[in-house]
């Protein structure tokens, strides 16, 4: 099993230590040809590095790299292909950038290689439940992990927060059995994953109900499809919709947001923080 590098451990600890001091920004870097928003733009390692550096300059705290699209209907990617996409970019970013790196994958082999290259966080959109080996890899490699709620299909009749809590309980039990330290876990309620537009809104409004886990909460609503329905223009990539949901999530208890548009979120969160400081 590949172990987390010394660099990865240092960046993991620095990242986890910053949580709670202020809202954090996770920047999205897709090295994919088919992501719904920016597919194909950053496949080349040099292009990935340039965009990552821009996000750092604009104020992101951690960069999340994905080599397999998680959009609805996306074609699954073989391990060899995913590794071929992500390894060159990840190696370059780990060497050139000072910020911690996260890798968005559901495959244990990718997670293990990412940890060896200096990755601080594994972001698993199936919350350690798709592949039974993932929790063991995370535990042995020593990375932090984002446990994301997901569903294979949408069921409008369910209480989505109750469903999220059941899912988290299973994931946390898996993590505990594997030996993943509780302090290394971040929870993501999975906006847009197996949820109706109403359920996505319910998650944001009721985010505080997940605070009793005493774990950091990450919310990723950036450019999601339901935002276009809410603004009335039908545009997935609408910035105003993303900003509104991100700020609402932070106000409701989220500790960080996963977004494409860094500069705009950094400015908005700076204003929000100033307003909060005025209240104390």
Tell me how far apart the alpha carbons of residues 18 and 32 are, in angstroms, rounded to a whole number.
29
Active site residue 85: no
Active site residue 198: no
- Catalytic residue, candidates 113, 224, 229, 270: 224
Give the residue from 268, 238, 253, 153 showing the smallest Cα distance to 203.
Answer: 253
Q: Which residues contact 25 (CB under 8 A, 6 or more apart)?
A: 59, 60, 61, 62, 256, 257, 259, 262, 265, 266, 269
Tokens found for residue 16? 């986890």
- Catalytic residue, candidates 165, 258, 270, 278: 258
Tokens found for residue 65? 């790299």
Instruction: Look up tokens 């960046």; give the residue.
Output: 11
**Phi, psi dihedral angles at 51 (to 5 degrees):** -70, -40
CB hemisphere CA count around 230 (13 angstroms): 22
Residues annotated as catalytic are 224, 258
């Amino acid at each position: 099993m590949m172990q987390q590098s010394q660099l990865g451990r240092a960046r993991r600890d620095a990242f986890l230590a910053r949580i709670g001091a202020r809202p954090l920004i996770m920047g999205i870097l897709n090295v994919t040809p088919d992501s719904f928003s920016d597919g194909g733009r950053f496949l080349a390692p040099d292009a990935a590095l340039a965009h990552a550096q821009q996000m750092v300059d604009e104020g992101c705290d951690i960069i999340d790299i994905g080599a397999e699209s998680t959009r609805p209907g996306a074609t699954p990617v073989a391990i060899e292909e995913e590794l071929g996409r992500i390894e060159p970019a990840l190696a370059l970013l780990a060497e050139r950038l000072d910020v911690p790196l996260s890798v968005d994958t559901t495959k244990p082999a990718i997670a293990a290689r990412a940890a060896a290259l200096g990755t601080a966080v594994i972001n698993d959109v199936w919350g350690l439940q798709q592949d039974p080996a993932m929790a063991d890899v995370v535990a042995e490699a020593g990375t932090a992990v984002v446990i994301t709620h997901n569903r294979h299909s949408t069921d409008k009749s369910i209480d989505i927060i109750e469903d999220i809590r059941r899912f988290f309980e299973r994931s946390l039990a898996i993590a505990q059995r594997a030996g993943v330290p509780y302090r290394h876990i971040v929870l993501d309620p999975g906006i847009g994953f197996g949820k109706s537009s109403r359920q996505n809104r319910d998650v944001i409004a009721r985010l505080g109900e997940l605070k009793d886990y005493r774990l950091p909460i990450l919310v990723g609503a950036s450019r999601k499809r339901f935002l276009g329905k809410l603004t009335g223009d039908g545009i997935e990539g609408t910035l105003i919709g993303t900003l509104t949901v991100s700020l609402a999530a932070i106000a409701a208890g989220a500790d960080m947001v996963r977004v494409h548009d860094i500069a705009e979120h950094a400015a908005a969160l700076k204003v929000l923080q100033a307003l909060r400081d005025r209240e104390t």
